[in-house]
Amino acid sequence: MRSFNVALLASLAIRSNGQQMPTGLLGFNSGATKDNNAAKAQSDFQDEFTTAQDLRGSPGLFNSVRLYTMIQSGTETDPISAFPAAIATNTSMLLGIWCSGTESIQNELTAMQNAIDQYGQRFADLVVAISVGSEDLYRASESGIQNEAGIGQGPDAIVQFIRDVRAAINGTILSDKPVGHVDSWSALANDSNSAVIEEIDWIGTDVYPYYERDKGNDFSNSTTIFDYIYGTSLNASQGKPVWVTETGYPASGPTFGQAVASVSNAGQYWQDIGCDKLFGRVNTWWYTLRDSNPANKEKFAITDDLSSTAKFNLTCAPGGAAPAAINLESKAPSPYSHQLLSITSALFLGLMVIW
């Protein structure tokens, strides 16, 4: 197991196939529904995006979101309400197109065109890239089927969908946006899926050491597992940028293999992986700000009820490569402020007497 080379990742992130690639993005994933399966409204997305940007002590500004679909939940082709929320909060977007369980992505493409027509350049300016699918190849794989991961897609279908997206954005204000695919490291490393990688501009990999029980997933081994998984994805990338589209550690949930879900481990994972390896260097969408999958027993949300104060310390250690902490000012007075005021007053009075 080897550690990945940060300098190499940075050089790969700059340019692929002649396209200028976004770098240093910080954000979270966001599903189309809430944890009770109700559709998110614009206000729900806007609350998430506002909290993300206001996180106390965050290492840089978390002002990007990764979406899984273009379609508003409960509709056929209405643009997802995350779009106007992003415009209102100046949040950049990694757009998603859901590709599993269907023979056509036309509804997704229609929703995208509707968004272009409705929001115009304000929408396009915030789009950093388009992801065609999410873990489809993994779900269709032998391990995905064994793990009952759900309905997936084979590489031929994903390649066709990628071509459909390129045709749909050609000649539009999204024509220069890089097109990619998100999947598990094991699917990306499978030679039978190489045609997908050949077709895209960038790769998104989802990295969860917590779930790698066949690799000795005690928390103390998390960094080693992460390095192996990311390195494997990088080796499969054919020289294209590799972005971390999901990673995180559950704050609560069942023990999985040797992995124990806890706030302490979630916080340490943020430090070891986010601060030491990713933030400000590799485009990263953390999983997650707010849980939205009621079927998932593991809860990854870093905040309770979208509080801007996270469950654990977000500030990275000084002197590292991560961005400096922001949002350090407390909106409430410190419990020690009255003591400091009393001490300051006493010193001032003492100096006045001496003078």
Give the residue among 274, 297, 271 at the shortest CA–CA distance from 285: 274
Give the residue among 176, 227, 170, 183 at the shortest CA–CA distance from 201: 176
Q: Is 100 a member of any domain?
A: yes
CA 34, 37, 40, 44 dihedral sign is: negative
Q: Is 263 a member of any domain?
A: yes
User: What is the distance between the alpha carbons of residues 267 and 250, in angstroms, rounded to a whole number?
Assistant: 10
What pLDDT score does 262 carry?
98
Residue 326 pLDDT > 60, yes or no? yes
Q: Is 305 a member of any domain?
A: yes
- Write 101-107 long-range contacts (CB < 8 A, 24+): 101/151, 103/157, 105/132, 105/161, 105/164, 105/165, 107/71, 107/76, 107/77
Give the residue among 87, 142, 93 at the shortest CA–CA distance from 245: 93
Q: Is 1 a member of any domain?
A: no
Give me the percent of the chain exceeding a pLDDT of 70.
87
Q: Is 43 a member of any domain?
A: yes
**Strand pairing class (26-30; 284-286):** parallel
The CA distances from residue 82 to 95, 108, 119, 183, 293, in Å, are 10, 14, 12, 23, 17
Residue 349 pLDDT > 60, yes or no? no
Residue 347 pLDDT > 50, yes or no? no
From the list 48, 108, 212, 246, the catalytic residue is 246
Give the number of other Cβ atoms within 10 Å of residue 219's Cβ: 20
Q: What's the CATH code of the domain at 114?
A: 3.20.20.80
What total of structural domains would you count in the chain?
1
What pLDDT score does 145 carry?
84
Would residue 198 show up in a list of annotated catalytic residues for this protein? no
What pLDDT score does 104 carry?
98
CB 59 within 8 A of CB 274: yes
Residue 76 pLDDT > 80, yes or no? yes
Q: What is the mean pLDDT of residues 219-236?
A: 98
State the residue range of the domain holding 130: 6-354
Residue 252 pLDDT > 50, yes or no? yes
Residue 312 pLDDT > 80, yes or no? yes
Q: Is 342 a member of any domain?
A: yes
CB 189 within 8 A of CB 235: yes
Q: Is 197 a member of any domain?
A: yes
Q: What is the pLDDT of residues 274-306, one digit of tens each?
A: 999 999 999 999 999 999 988 899 999 999 999
Write phi, then psi, for 233 (nearest 5 degrees).
-65, -40
Residue 124 pLDDT > 50, yes or no? yes
What pLDDT score does 40 carry?
98
What pLDDT score does 143 carry?
81
Residue 77 pLDDT > 60, yes or no? yes
pTM above 0.85, yes or no: yes
User: What is the distance between the alpha carbons of residues 124 and 171, in angstroms, rounded to a whole number?
Assistant: 13
CB 284 within 8 A of CB 316: no
What pLDDT score does 343 carry?
36
Q: What is the pLDDT of residues 155-211, one digit of tens each?
A: 999 999 999 999 999 999 999 999 999 999 999 999 999 999 999 999 999 999 999
Q: pLDDT higher for 182 or 338?
A: 182
What pLDDT score does 330 carry?
62
CA torsion angle 10 8 5 232 (round to 10): 100
Q: What is the mean pLDDT of residues 51-65?
A: 98
Would residue 135 show up in a list of annotated catalytic residues for this protein? yes
Task: Work out the mean pLDDT of the chain and round it to a whole number.
Answer: 90
CA 6, 248, 223, 179 dihedral sign is: negative
From the list 135, 199, 212, 298, the catalytic residue is 135
What pLDDT score does 331 carry?
53
What pLDDT score does 160 carry?
98
Q: Is 164 a member of any domain?
A: yes
What pLDDT score does 106 carry?
98
What pLDDT score does 83 carry?
99
**Strand pairing class (15-16; 19-20):** antiparallel
Give the residue among 68, 44, 17 at the shortest CA–CA distance from 246: 68
User: What is the distance between the alpha carbons of residues 321 and 60, in angstroms, rounded to a whole number?
Assistant: 11
CB 282 within 8 A of CB 9: yes
Q: What is the mean pLDDT of residues 45-66?
A: 98
Length of the chain: 355
Confidence of residue 13 (pLDDT cuts 50, 70, 90): very low
Sorted by sequence, the CB contacts under 8 Å of residue 21 that are 6+ apart come out as 13, 14, 15, 178, 201, 202, 241
